[in-house]
Amino acid sequence: MNTRRVAITSILVLLAAAAGFGWFRFIAHPKPVACGYCNRPLHANLMVTAEIAGKKTQVCCARCALTEANQQRKPLRLIEVHDYRTGRPISPASAWFVEGSRVTACTHDMTHMGEHEEMQDLSFDRCSPSTFAFANKPDADAFVAQNGGAVLSLGQLMSEAKF
């Protein structure tokens, strides 16, 4: 009888701990799944943590952060970027960025309906030109050789911010 009571108590304690962890992880501190600026999905190999005018946000890509900063006319700081090849977080200061390749980073259906429900051409995409981060220059150079674009340092990329 005592062994059964201990087993049931142990199971209940484990279930309570699992429920507490689940609440903490998924309800109290959920991982963002969409860009804080354009609401497109976040992908591990593209995700950026950016700060505009002191507000920290998870963003779909570095280009989206630059576009948002330019639209708000406020200072931008890239806090963390992810290596496109591995998905590992890296410091923006040590990253190499590829801009303007043939690869599209943030996809959507590209349709836009006009006032009279006619299809219109897309004339602006906040995530274009695609901008990818790489942990090292040889990986960035190899990506450019295969997909086109230009390799930029953080300073060169940030020079596009107009604030």
Which tens digit of pLDDT belongs to each residue from 89-100? Answer: 999 999 999 999
User: What is the tens place of the pLDDT at every residue in 49-107?
Assistant: 999 999 999 999 999 999 999 999 999 999 999 999 999 999 999 999 999 999 877 66
- Give me the mean pLDDT over the 124-134 stretch: 83
Model confidence at 20, pLDDT cuts 50, 70, 90, reads low
Return the pLDDT at 97.
97
Over the stretch 21-38, which tens digit does the pLDDT of each residue have?
655 555 555 566 888 988
The kind and range of the H/E element at 63 are helix 62-72
Smallest Cα–Cα separation from 84: which of 110, 58, 107, 60?
60
pLDDT at 123 (0 to 100): 55
Whole-model pTM: value is 0.71
To which H or E segment does residue 151 belong? strand 150-152
| Gap between the Cα atoms of 19 and 37, Å rounded | 32
What secondary structure letter does DSSP report for 25?
A: I
Please state, as a whole number, how many other Cβ atoms lie within 10 Å of the Cβ of residue 57. 17
Alpha-carbon distance 74 to 85, whole Å? Answer: 30
d(CA 162, CA 130): 18
**Structure tokens belonging to residue 136:** 């090292």
Work out the average pLDDT over 151-160: 95
Q: Among 102, 120, 101, which Cα is nearest to 110's?
A: 120
